[in-house]
Structure 1
Amino acid sequence: MRIRYLGFALLTWFPGVLHAQSAAQPCSAPSLRGGFFAPKQETYSPETKLTYTCDNGRKPTVKGWWATSTCQNGKWSHEPQCIDEEACIPPEIPNAKYTENQNGWYENGHTIRITCDQGYEPKDRDVTARCITGTWSSVPVCERSIQACGEPPKIPHAVIIHQEYQEVFAVDSEVQYECEDGYTVEEADGNKSIFCIAGSWTEGPTCRTGPGTGHSGSTVGGTDGTQPGGGSSTTSGFNDRDSRPLPTTIDHCGAHPNVPNGIVVQVERKFLKYQCNAFYTQVGSDTVTCSSNGKWSQLPICKEAFCVLDLAVYKSSGFKLSGVEYVKEGETKQLQCIWVDWWRIFRCTNGRLTYTQCCHANDIYYGRCR
């Protein structure tokens, strides 16, 4: 009798046991409009797969003209749906996020806007895609930022803490090291952290043994503090490294430096990013950092990248326009001659202006203008 009551009590006190045993629920047959599926039955046991396809003018919400779905804990792995063939299924964009529709698809004409993950940036600044008759136009690409860093360097007798492994780190990221037992960070290093600045990691700490630990590497030379050939011992490279200025926050350097014909387009905690004005090309890195000695790193140069077209020089050529025009390096500009549908083409190459004779519009279209 006691055993029977005990069994009832266990069932009452541990309902989670029964729930775990019955967690794998069967699935009801899906409601599929505009298509059909197989096998056809009222209920499906867990892990059962069905296949479906759609009528003409419609398609599944996944790639292909047919699709499979699996019964998992009372629900289908994706709800079988047949949508208009001009609608779009979600695009696959690595290293990016965008707002996903709850119904799992997008109507024709819908536009999505993506955000790249940290450490990545949109190629050619393209961040939108539009659904046009069933396909996405100009799907954006998130490429690794030139300001991002790869995995942090491996330091002997140290491990990175409070950070999961990843291959790409966004600019201004910080990782912290912890030394192995029996090792400590040198006082000269001070900081246990390194920072990602303009695509490179700052110099990391050095883990060395403390006094009396018995590990090698704490000193260089004899045990009495002298070199084998005489003289006091020093740690190789310490003084050189200590004398080098380290990167720091930009507020340590004061006002932003001026780059002629350039502007600051991005301000971060540890760097500035410049961009040259139109008709100028950049020479050198576009990123400027601040050092602990209060000095900025080398500034970029914005070099002229255009040709000046003074129409007064070509007055005898019969142009309708007058004045001065500018042609960007590597580009062309068409200027109309005095005759209708006749044009002269100017090209800027290496700062030098070249031009064609006056050509008819048809000759220009077919590439016959020389």
Structure 2
Amino acid sequence: MCSRYLGFILLVWFPGALHTQSAAQPCPAPSLVNGYFLPVKETYTHDSKLTYACESPLKPAVEGWWAWSVCQNGTWSPTPRCIEEKACIPPTIDNAKYTEASEGWYEEGDIIRITCDKGYEHKDNIATARCRYGTWVSLPTCEMSTKSCSAPPKAPHAVIVDQGYQEMFPEDEGVKYECEDGYSIEGSHNYTLFCLAGIWTEGPMCSKETGRGGGHGGSAEAGTVGGHSTSSGRVTQPAGGGAGGSRPDIGHGGSVEVVPGGGHITSSDPGTQPGSGGSSSTSANRPLFTSIEHCGKHPIVPNGVVVEEKPMYLKFKCQAFYKQVGEDTVVCFSDGSWSKVPVCQDAFCVLEPGYYDQSSKVSLAMYIKEGETKHIPCPWEDWSVAVHCSNRRITHTRCCRSYYHRMVTCT
């Protein structure tokens, strides 16, 4: 009697154990058309493994000419299956996703489009792949975007909170720093840095709450964390800086020197702050990145428009027939000034009305993009004058006959 009660109590206490045992169902022999497998049995216990191959010209629906499958609670995984030799199995592409085939493989001629994960971009602008004779042609690769940042900079007397370690941070993503006990930043114990165009924005450094200290004489100060540092005309990327190698600091003139924590301060040569109005920047009032709301009205870029607006930056794009010079990303500094805006330069030629050949005439002014060639018809069929725009200057041929878009005979 006691043993029966004890058994009932165990059933009540450990229902999960019985459920686990009942869930481990055996598998029947797989139905493999045009293929064979070993070992051959009528049923297979949970976790049993079998190997299979396919009759020529078929192949397994996985990589290789032979494959294996495991019995998982009554189901074979992956399902043993033979497919056409010209079919393609799903490709493996790091940091990307694409639409999966409903049957688990792709037929000859199928095209898939790859979407890179946030913070990554298509290498060489290749985003699609085609299945040809069992392999993928021009399989795309997703690489870290030049506007993403690597790991954020290390800060003295501070740690990053609410964020686990990762090697890549997408643009506009922020990390929160918190000062250790006994340290603060003007009464606060935390601050945030943002990834902006491949560079971490700058932030103050934690100092002792009992006093700022740091009495090193001259104009030295606690410094900043993040950003770039430059000296003697060179650009140096500190540890944990942005991706894409060395690049100029956004919107800061003059030369700078490195200070502890990966930040920088302006040297004795004051330099000039670019941007709307321009303000001088010295070691005593080094401006930091801040929200664009702080700068108020957006800067104007002639022949350019804002195509993206984020809390920490604006992104411009030049209109058609104009070429962009300078960074497309504009940020706001804590002194209320904007960083240097891009310039949209003319990138077109104007074809004035008149004769460009004895038999070819332009009645109205025509705009031609830089590097573009347009054809002005001549009186004879398949004959035209080729007009080309290069370095904002017009060059043209005489009336020529074209054959498959190539000029072959001229008058």
**Aligned runs of 1:221-370 on 2, under 5 Å?**
221=215, 235=221, 243-310=285-352, 312-316=354-358, 318-319=359-360, 322-362=363-403, 365=406
322-331 vs 234-243, which moves further: 234-243
Deviation, 1:194, is: 1.0
Alignment match, 1:161: 161
Distance 2:23 2:130 in 1: 41
Cα offset for 1:147?
2.8
Letter of the structure 2 residue corresponding to residue 48 of structure 1: K
SS for the counterpart of 1:347 is strand
Distance in 2, matches of 1:320 and 1:59, equals: 65
In structure 2, the partner of 1:185 is 184
- Report which stretch shifted further, 190-199 or 7-16: 7-16
Q: CA deviation at 1:285?
A: 0.5
Deviation at 1:266, TM superposition (A): 1.2
Matched residue type, 2:68: T
Whose helix fraction is larger, Structure 1's or Structure 2's?
A: 1
Q: Which amino acid aligns with 2:197?
A: A
Provide Cα deviations, 1:176-214, integer angstroms capped at 9, x if missing partner: 12333x4423218764211112221111342334449xx
Aligned-residue offset at 1:145: 3.0
Partner of 2:174: 174
Distance in 2 of aligned mates of 1:73 and 1:288: 57
Q: Once the 2 structures are TM-superposed, how far is the Cα of residue 173 of structure 1 from its aligned partner?
A: 0.9
SS of 1:178's partner is strand
Residues 178, 189 of structure 2: 8 Å contact kept? no
1:152 shift after superposition: 0.7
C-alpha contact 1:131 1:137 (8 A) present in aligned 2: yes
- Return 240-249 or 196-205, whichever deviates more: 240-249
TM-score, normalising length: structure 2: 0.70
1:25 and 1:259, CA in 2 relative to 1: closer, same or farther beyond 3 A?
same
2: CA distance between counterparts of 1:127 and 1:281? 25
TM-score, normalised to structure 1, is 0.76
User: Counterpart of 2:213?
Assistant: 219
Partner of 2:78: 78
SS at match of 2:177: strand
- CA distance in 2 between counterparts of 1:174 and 1:278 reads 34
Higher alpha-carbon deviation: 261-270 or 47-56: 47-56
Letter in structure 2 aligned against 1:53: C
Match of 1:224 in 2: none
> Residue type of the partner of 2:391?
N
Contact 1:38 1:52 (C-alpha < 8 Å) held by counterparts: no
Alpha carbon RMSD of aligned pairs, Å?
4.0
Contact preservation (8 Å) 1:280, 1:303: yes
Match of 2:238 in 1: none
Q: Quick one: distance in 1 between partners of 2:69 and 2:198?
A: 44
Deviation at 1:249, TM superposition (A): 2.1
SS of equivalent to 1:361 = strand
Whichever residue aligns with residue 51 of structure 1, its letter is Y
Letter in 1 for 2:356: Y
Distance 1:322 1:197, change over 3 A: same
Q: Which amino acid aligns with 1:196?
A: C
Higher strand share: 2
Mapping of residues 62-73 of structure 1, within 5 Å: 62-73=62-73
In structure 1, the partner of 2:235 is none
Unaligned runs of 5+ in 2: 225-264, 266-281
Report how far residue 310 of structure 1 moved. 3.1
Alpha carbons of structure 1 residues 368 and 360: separation in structure 2 relative to 1, 3 Å: closer
> How far does residue 283 in structure 1 lie from its aligned partner after superposition?
0.2
Q: Aligned residue for 2:49?
A: 48
Shift of 1:287: 0.8
Query: Offset at 1:325?
Result: 3.1
CA distance, structure 2, for counterparts of residue 188 and residue 241 of structure 1: 22
CA pair 353-62 structure 1, distance change in 2 beyond 3 A: farther
Residues 34-87 of structure 1 show CA distances to partners (whole Å, capped at 9, x for unaligned) of 43333333233425241232553x543333444333334543331122345565
**Structure 1 residues 90 and 189: alpha-carbon distance in aligned structure 2, compared to 1, 3 A threshold:** same
Q: Cα distance, 1:242 vs. partner?
A: 6.3
Question: Measured at CA, do residues 113 and 295 of structure 1 come closer, stay the same or move farther in structure 2, by a change above 3 Å?
Answer: same
Q: Deviations over 1:123-152 (max 9, x none)?
A: 677766666786667655544333322211
Which range moved further: 231-240 or 83-92? 231-240
State how far apart, in whole Å, the 2-side matches of 1:10 and 1:285 are: 70
Identity of aligned residues (%): 53
Structure-2 residue corresponding to 1:94: 94
* CA shift for structure 1 position 160: 1.4
**Conserved 8 A contact 1:198-1:271:** no
Native 8 Å contact 2:305 2:318 kept in 1: yes
Distance apart, 1:247 and its partner CA: 2.0
Residues 210-249 of structure 1 deviation map (CA, whole Å, 9 limit, x = unaligned): 449xxxxx6245xxxxx8xxx9998555996662232222
